[in-house]
Amino acid sequence: MHTAFLIPLITALLAVTATAVVAGYATVIAAYWFELRSTERHGGRPNPSRR
């Protein structure tokens, strides 16, 4: 009886955790990508306005 309720709960928890991990990695990669693009735009120097 409890197992029938527990399996969807664990599955949902795993899905939410996996989504959060993927979103975290995507955020880090996007931040690195935008930093790289802004560095390229400023002739190999970081953007001076971000001090």
17-30 pLDDT tens trace: 999 999 999 999 99
| pLDDT at res. 36 | 84
- More confident of the two residues 21 and 45: 21
28, 21 Cβ separation under 8 angstroms: no
Structure tokens at 44: 């190999």
Q: What DSSP assignment string belongs to the chain?
A: -HHHHHHHHHHHHHHHHHHHHHHHHHHHHHHHHHHHHHHHHTTTS--GGG-
| pLDDT at res. 38 | 79
| pLDDT at res. 37 | 82
| pLDDT at res. 21 | 97
24, 30 Cβ separation under 8 angstroms: no
* pTM, entire model: 0.58
